[in-house]
Structure 1
Amino acid sequence: MPLQSVLLQGILLKGGHVLDALSSCQSIAFDKTGTLTTGKLMCKAIEPIHGHLDASNGVDPSCCTPNCESEALAVAAAMEKGTTHPIGRAVLKHSVGRDLPVVAVESFESLPGRGVVATLSGIKARDSENEFAKASIGSVEYISSLYRSYGESEQIKEAVKCSAFGPEFVQAALSVDKKVTLFHFEDEPRTGVCEVIYTLREKAKLRIMMLTGDHESSAQRVAKAVCIEEVHFSLKPEDKLNKVKAVSREGGGGLIMVGDGINDAPALAAATVGIVLAQRASATAVAVADVLLLQDNLCVVPFCIAKARQTTSLVKQSVALALTCIVFAALPSVLGFLPLWLTVLLHEGGTLLVCLNSIRALNPPTWSWADDIRQLVHSLKNYVSAKLNSSSSDCSASTVPL
């Protein structure tokens, strides 16, 4: 019954053991992009920041073909074809309908949590006519780490900090033949996330945190919007994995990880329970997760946790009822205080009580005994009210003159 109940809410559990694991968890961690936010990023600006020729030096400012922004967008779109990452989808969407140069990609390699590396066939490297240009797109930290010179790496980071568009946007950097271009994306929190976080904190009494690979400004902006106080930013996939393991050890209870991307897969696998938004999740994330949310909505997460706790509580109650009835039936019978027929009646009565108690799993889950009592009183009031209305209707019908 619990599995059917959660399935009706658009939640798929990979086995009944997941309910027991969910009920034991004391912490929950959320990924940011695509989980707490809509994931529907919009490219707001493309900004050359390093290695591009400057008109102030007396050189043609169009060091790229046909210009720096168009070439960067064309290269990024070619590298992100077929991607499921929100940033990649935003780049492809931004490139649609634009007059961009044709770029072919070969020797493609994806580095989860860092970025994408490729060779651009048809575009010669600036330093060598015999080699094709190399391109990389990913986080600012990853792109800056590709420059072996410490000074040049610091120049890129400083250029990002001094960007004309500020630090509030989600950022990705593209390096093509030692020219770095910064992409700025805008993302918004999902509707209803604040209510979900409030319920998990105040009613489920869970420790709530955000784990994200984005930079601090972007992470703090979203965290403030959704009322999350504990934020861990600039995390690689292995950093998320280590954080999940550390929190599980520190808290003593289990941890729930909610994510959607391939970057979250290690953390989802290591968590006590991994939850993914199945509509947009990567195949790897779906494979390692324990719970699939079939609808693109986080509002069912509190329901899933409450149902797990309700189910575990009902199992414990049913076991206690069964053992109590067996003890009160068998012990007096062995000592000769009860006849056999009464012993059988008590034993079978205990079985009936367990069955009746199990039917309560059909009720909507609650967070406490007080909520259970309020729900019962409300149901009784509705039942009595319906009976009174039905009786008054029958009386009115019987007094109608012929």
Structure 2
Amino acid sequence: RIVQDIADRIEPGTRFLLDGDPSGEENDRWNLLRTVGCAAAFLITFILELFGIIGHETSAIVFIAVFVLAGADTIVSALRGILHGDIFGEAFRMTVATVGAVLIGQYTEAAAVMVFFSVGELLEDYAVGSSRRRISGLLDMAPKVAHVETLMGVKDVDPESVSVGDVISVRPGELIPLDGIVVRGSTELDTSALTGESIPVTVDTGYKALSGSLNISGTISVRVTDTFHDSTITRIMEMMQDAGDKKAKSERFITRFARYYTPIVCLLELLVAVIPILLGMDAKDWIYRALTFLVLSCPCALVISIPMTIMSGIGCASSHGILIKGGNYLEMLSQVDTMAFDKTGTLTEGRFSVVDVVSDERDLIEKVSSALECNSNHPLAKAVCREFGGSDLTAEDIREIPGKGMSGVIGSTMAYAGNSRLMSDLGFDVDDPEGRSSIHIVYDGRYLGHIDLEDTPKDNAKTTLSELKRLGVRRTVMLTGDKDSIAKDVSSRLDMDEYRASMLPQDKMASVEELIEDSDGCTVFVGDGINDSPTLRRADIGISMGQIGSDTALEASDIIIAGDDLSKIPLAMRISRRTMSIVKQNIALSLGMKVAVLALTLFGMSEMWYAVIADVGACILAIVNSLRALNL
């Protein structure tokens, strides 16, 4: 009752059904039968009168009956609208126009308008329902059941009731319902619903299994690490559903436009009815034209199709593993002027390898570096840990020194691992090899030497940047904490416009602010979604790469690209531009048809039912056109 009261204040006559309520299908069936029956009665009567088989009085009775039966719901909605003070509602305008036609003796017109309007409503409902099902089909990936392993056997339960630590069984052909770690079995996972990648991923014991992935081959047991509400698939779906709340400028414009369009057309209708009569022209003819204006005063084609087009574009992007958090970001992607990139892991592979150890105490430097670096998630630290393995030394009181390195206590001895800036702070004047990254080690106040590492650009980095240029991105900038020689080398190999080296996290954010000031359009920052969270938030659009299961990435980024494929960035831009092109087409189509019929009506060259056909036709064409944004 509360929901119904609220809905009636927004749109009188809105009808709510409980999920699974069979009366919904019965009501749809009744509306279809009634509309088809009225349309058949109207057509038969029209033909019989046209050939003189029945008289005008008989046809008038049938037409009035058709008008009342076909327009019953519309008339009731109009009366509800009057009670709620809604005099610009579609039902009210349609009722006034057709009742006016009856009063001036245009029975055929009144019946035709109500029949066409009812047919149009059915077609609109079908088109909207079909498009929503297609969009929700792309986004609704949540599994409906989880097989929990218990001492009594396997129990099927709702995924929402599964607790962290429970072990669930996932069979071939099933979706993984919750995030977890594989504890038994091995299989291949189809992660295309999350990443857009069609190549299966092989997982074994100890591997992370993300919810929403499809198990292809073997049965696996997964120990749950996140509740259903915290799992990847749930957070992605919530994010996509929330995307509708972040309106594109075009959506906000249409909302404002609709607010003024209907009153203006109604004012024109009043002028069309009154002024000619005051000038002594035929009152019946001009009242009829004014009523036709009233039929055209609804901007429903725009109000329905524009948001649908935006959501279709977001749905298309999600099918390619590109998660866009709002229509505003989708629209802004079509206006990108400057794009800044983090280097490591974004433009480069982010998988460093140790190429040299420069030290007179190689064994000690390996042990000290492992003891410190194996406690860090930094790509350089991971490379050192991977190369040297664990250490028989244990570091305690480990501290990250942002943009410089880390420190720790080994035994009772202070140790440091970091770049040349950290060494400078410690009083050591060191040089880095040209074109390489280095980790310098200080132990017990002594400089032990440095470990040299290399990273290489991703295979498609250069072609992606070239394609961005072709799409109109004026300026590409690389922001990195690496020294100048490394930044210069990578920037040159990728043909970037500029680079900025030796940057701390706060320096990157300041650079993005500067780029925004200098930009003629939208400024984008692309990073890993974890180490660059403040910079991602500061950019007009923050894009994170490869962190589909990361809380930080989902919160800090406006767009999340699953996997590390850079080519999805220009793909996202193409989806954005195609979507906005369809938005413009729908605006032109809807307004063009209305303006054309309004002009014809003003000069007495249009019938009222033409107006209904134009109004409904524009709406249906715009809705169908919006579905094109689902595919690229």
TM-score by length of 2: 0.48
Residue 255 (str. 1) matches residue 523 (str. 2): yes
In structure 2, the residue matched to 1:119 is 409
In structure 1, the residue matched to 2:260 is none
Residue 146 (str. 1) matches residue 436 (str. 2): no
Runs of 4+ in 1 over 6 A off after TM superposition: none
Distance 1:239 1:88 in 2: 22
- Structure 1 residues 111 and 329 mapped into 2: Cα distance closer, same or farther (>3 Å)? farther
In structure 2, the residue matched to 1:5 is 316
* SS state at 2:542 partner: strand
1:1-400 pair list within 5 angstroms: 1-48=312-359, 68-96=361-389, 100=391, 102-120=392-410, 122=411, 132-147=412-427, 153=428, 156-157=429-430, 160-161=431-432, 166-180=433-447, 181-260=449-528, 262-279=530-547, 284-330=552-598, 332-333=600-601, 337-364=605-632
**1:214-249 deviation line (CA, Å, top 9, x unaligned):** 011111111122221311111111111011011111
Asked whether the equivalents of residues 546 and 562 of structure 2 are also in contact (C-alpha less than 8 Å), the reply is: yes
* SS state at 1:38 partner: coil
**1:266-287 deviation line (CA, Å, top 9, x unaligned):** 2111111111222499753453
Asked whether the equivalents of residues 268 and 285 of structure 1 are also in contact (C-alpha less than 8 Å), the reply is: no
Give the superposition deviation at 1:4: 2.5
**1:320-373 deviation line (CA, Å, top 9, x unaligned):** 322222333345546755321111111112213312332332442xxxxxxxxx
AA partner of residue 454 (structure 2): E
AA partner of residue 40 (structure 1): R
Which structure is larger by alpha-carbon Rg, 1 or 2?
2
Distance 1:83 1:335 in 2: 77
Distance 2:530 2:444 in 1: 28
The percent identity for this pair of structures is 31
Deviates more, 1:237-246 or 1:75-84: 75-84
- Structure 1 residues 287 and 177 mapped into 2: Cα distance closer, same or farther (>3 Å)? farther
Task: Name the structure where helix makes up a greater proportion of residues.
Answer: 2
In structure 2, the residue matched to 1:383 is none
AA partner of residue 284 (structure 1): T
Give the superposition deviation at 1:75: 2.0
Asked whether the equivalents of residues 416 and 443 of structure 2 are also in contact (C-alpha less than 8 Å), the reply is: yes
AA partner of residue 323 (structure 2): L
**1:69-93 deviation line (CA, Å, top 9, x unaligned):** 2222222222223532210110110
**1:137-161 deviation line (CA, Å, top 9, x unaligned):** 22211331233xxxxx4xx23xx15
Asked whether the equivalents of residues 84 and 280 of structure 1 are also in contact (C-alpha less than 8 Å), the reply is: no
TM-score by length of 1: 0.73
- Structure 1 residues 110 and 281 mapped into 2: Cα distance closer, same or farther (>3 Å)? farther
Distance 2:495 2:578 in 1: 27
- Structure 1 residues 178 and 285 mapped into 2: Cα distance closer, same or farther (>3 Å)? farther
* SS state at 2:434 partner: coil
C-alpha RMSD of the superposition? 2.3
* SS state at 1:168 partner: coil
Distance 1:241 1:167 in 2: 27
Asked whether the equivalents of residues 543 and 561 of structure 2 are also in contact (C-alpha less than 8 Å), the reply is: yes
AA partner of residue 69 (structure 1): R
Structure 2: gaps of 5 or more residues:
1-311
- Structure 1 residues 144 and 33 mapped into 2: Cα distance closer, same or farther (>3 Å)? same
Asked whether the equivalents of residues 336 and 472 of structure 2 are also in contact (C-alpha less than 8 Å), the reply is: no
Distance 1:88 1:260 in 2: 16
Give the superposition deviation at 1:259: 1.2
Asked whether the equivalents of residues 329 and 347 of structure 1 are also in contact (C-alpha less than 8 Å), the reply is: no
* SS state at 1:183 partner: strand
AA partner of residue 401 (structure 2): L
Asked whether the equivalents of residues 413 and 443 of structure 2 are also in contact (C-alpha less than 8 Å), the reply is: yes
Q: How many residues align?
A: 320
Asked whether the equivalents of residues 85 and 261 of structure 1 are also in contact (C-alpha less than 8 Å), the reply is: no
Distance 1:334 1:280 in 2: 57
AA partner of residue 246 (structure 1): E
Asked whether the equivalents of residues 260 and 281 of structure 1 are also in contact (C-alpha less than 8 Å), the reply is: no
In structure 2, the residue matched to 1:128 is none
Distance 2:536 2:423 in 1: 26
